[in-house]
Amino acid sequence: MHHRARLAVALSCLLTTLTTTARADDTAALRVVLCGDSTMCEYPPDTPDRGWGQYLQGYFDDGVLVINLARGGRSTKTFRTDGLWEKALATGPTFVLIQFGHNDSHSPDRPESTDAATEFPANLRRYVSEARAAGATPILLTPVVRRVFDADGTLVGELRPYAEATRQVAAEMQVPLVDVQASSKALVESLGPAASAAMANAPGDRTHFNEQGAKAMAELVMRELPAAAPPLEGHLVTR
């Protein structure tokens, strides 16, 4: 993504999240805080971009408050260095949903990049430990798949090393896991290149979502989240 496009995504996520947080219902019994990147974050209504985290609140009654602190362009490294992780813990979360990989996978010369075999899992372990120390339950999510196909129409697994590292940390530290990489891969493969392109926020974008795509990802998350966080089950609403 070009620098100006990344900056625009980051600013739109920030402005919309500030508005959403300002409307937060402080009486909610359960707080679900979202930590991630542009595939998860909030966007203004006057743009075609949507993150799946924008639709999570609609699955729950007033006993659950979803606080979306995801930001475009962030990785396991820069979400912390930009002060967002500190902000997440300051909200007093019950559950912390942690999903990274897209920006961690950027070229090594980029400041947000992390190595899938070393720094990335180390960062996840630190998030898990600190969330638990703050009294919250961390839940790890593998990154949504990139909708990139090769010439034969086979989906390219660009984020597979980061998804596998997330699974390994979840198993090692006994953290609930929502495997969105696996579920989104199955969905995108079933749709194929042409139909899956209809989920994009812009022609040629294979990472970000419009409303259709973001809602599809939210639905995949919600197929697994109640089992990963059983206290949420009693607050689900009929859709």
The per-residue pLDDT for range 156-192, each reduced to its tens digit, is: 988 999 999 999 999 999 999 999 999 999 999 999 9
The per-residue pLDDT for range 70-125, each reduced to its tens digit, is: 999 999 999 999 999 999 999 999 999 999 999 999 999 999 999 999 999 999 99
- Per-residue confidence (pLDDT) for residue 52, from 0 to 100: 98
Q: What is the CATH number for 65? A: 3.40.50.1110
Residue 176, CA atoms < 13 Å, CB-side half-sphere: 18
| pLDDT-derived band at 238, boundaries 50, 70, 90 | confident
Q: Please report which residue ranges of 101-179 form alpha helices under DSSP H.
A: 119-133, 160-173
Q: What is the C-alpha to C-alpha distance for residues 56 and 58, in angstroms, rounded to an integer?
A: 5
| Token pair listed for 171 | 């198993």
As a whole number, the mean pLDDT across the chain is 91
Q: Assess contact for 131 and 174: CB atoms under 8 A.
A: no
Range of the domain at 79: 3-235
| pLDDT-derived band at 21, boundaries 50, 70, 90 | very low
- Per-residue confidence (pLDDT) for residue 6, from 0 to 100: 44
| Token pair listed for 216 | 């599809």
Q: What is the C-alpha to C-alpha distance for residues 140 and 232, in angstroms, rounded to an integer?
A: 16
Greater confidence (29 vs 199) lies with 199
Q: 13-27, 32-46, 114-128, 202-216: which has the minimum mean pLDDT?
A: 13-27
Mean predicted confidence (pLDDT) in 196-212:
96
Return all residues near 231 (Cβ < 8 A) that are at least 6 apart. Answer: 30, 94
Domain count, the chain: 1
Helix (H, G, I), strand (E, B) or coil at 222: helix
Whole-model pTM over 0.85: yes
